[in-house]
Amino acid sequence: MMDIQRDDLLQMYYYLKLTRKFEERITSLYHQGRILGGAWTSNGTEAVSVGYAFALEKNDIAASYFRDMGAFIIRGISVKRIMAQYLGKKTGVSGGKEGNVHIGDLNYGVFGFPSHLADNYPVGAGAALAFKIRGEKRVVAACTGDGGTSRGDFHEAMNFASVRKLPIVFFCNNNQYAYSTPLHLQMAVKNIADRALAYGMPNKIVDGNNVVDVYTAAKEAYEFARNGGGPTFIECKTMRMHGHSEHDSAKYVPRELLEEWRKKDPITNMETYLRENNIVKKEELDSIDTRIKNEIDEAEEFAETSPYPSPEDALEDVYATPVEE
């Protein structure tokens, strides 16, 4: 295993738990009818976004999607702004003018993602092409779910990135279901990573419930891309423990399958690893829990007391400012 500093391990644990608890609060607010729109969470798959985002460098770019809350937070978009986004407030990431999960801010190196999943891949490939043309040592991390890999734009982006040897790493959050369609009805290949072979692209399969595994694979792939090696495809095998969104009870998922994956919970995994290797004491874990609760309470209060956008705000940010020569 890659040598990872103790502080980094604790930080990844903190982000895993912050992501879980923050999305649990969003879910609770959704059921109370206090947020605008639906609630899509990463419950059970948090190690994917935390692992790949934590391995990025500051000037890199993330083309993340709606199950990547950990990536949004790690890149620096505050939970206050994200909570305000869910409540449709002016202080939200989009100023209260976008769907609540359409989170992105280029000030923090995060693209706002398109709803049609897998579109992240060509968007990320475009950024990677720009980095290569400019001679910049930056990389892109692009993520989508298993269902997204059956779309045409997935294949177009994979082919283009491989031919051009672009500095991009493609991640697949293989959470076993594309909404209600199980993996075996989506594709005939055993592993999604097999699809990368068709494009001559290096690929790797990792335990998507083990944040250290995801981080290690991401770090290696980023360095490969940063040094001119080209793209890598990483399949993170995990399980979505909630429905497609909170309106979906996911009755189509066998209960025994959920119970099997519940034993592999990514946060329990990480806590066990930290304890068994004497990396952390119970008092430190308690302190992290307290810190997280306070941050989420403050985020909720900030969002609740923030104003809604005014009607005039709808006319702002519609068109880009023309470039004057």
Q: pLDDT tens across 204-221, in order? A: 999 999 999 999 999 999
Residue 321 predicted with pLDDT over 90: no
**Which distant-in-sequence residues (6+ apart) come within 8 Å of 112 by Cβ?**
94, 98, 102, 103, 104, 105
Give the pLDDT score at 98: 85
Q: What confidence score (pLDDT) does residue 97 get?
A: 87
Mean pLDDT confidence for 146-167: 96
pLDDT digits (tens, 9 = 90+) for 32-90: 999 999 999 999 999 999 999 999 999 999 999 999 999 999 999 999 999 999 999 99
Alpha helices in the chain (DSSP H): 6-31, 46-54, 69-75, 79-86, 120-134, 152-164, 194-197, 211-226, 255-262, 266-276, 282-305
Of 98, 113, 33, nearest to 67 by C-alpha is 113
Q: Which of 125, 143, 122, 141 is nearest to 133 (CA)?
A: 125
DSSP 116-141: STTTHHHHHHHHHHHHHHHT----EE
> In the prediction, which pLDDT does 215 show?
98
Give the lowest-confidence range in 101-105, 253-257, 262-266, 320-324. 320-324
The token pair that represents 47 in the structure block: 């190690």
Query: Token match 């923090």: residue?
Result: 108
- Predicted confidence at residue 325, as pLDDT, reads 63
pLDDT tens digit sequence for 13-33: 999 999 999 999 999 999 999
Is 80 exceeded by the pLDDT of residue 295? Answer: yes
Written as one letter, the residue type at 115 is S
The H or E element spanning position 35 is: none
Q: At what angle do helices 120-134 and 152-164 cross, to 10 degrees?
A: 20
In degrees, to the nearest 5, what angle opens at C-alpha 24 toward C-alphas 18 and 26? 100
Q: Measure the CA dihedral 75/81/86/89, to 10°.
A: -150
Specify the DSSP element, H or E, that contains 312.
none
Question: Mean pLDDT in the chain?
Answer: 95
Question: Confidence class of residue 1 from pLDDT cuts 50, 70 and 90?
Answer: low
pLDDT of residue 130: 98
Residue 239, Ramachandran bin (φ over 0: left; ψ between -120 and 50: alpha; else beta) = beta
DSSP class of residue 77 equals -
pLDDT tens digits for range 157-201:
999 999 999 999 999 999 999 999 999 999 999 999 999 999 999
Residue 4 tokens read as: 């990872």
pLDDT band at 320 (very low <50, low <70, confident <90, very high): confident
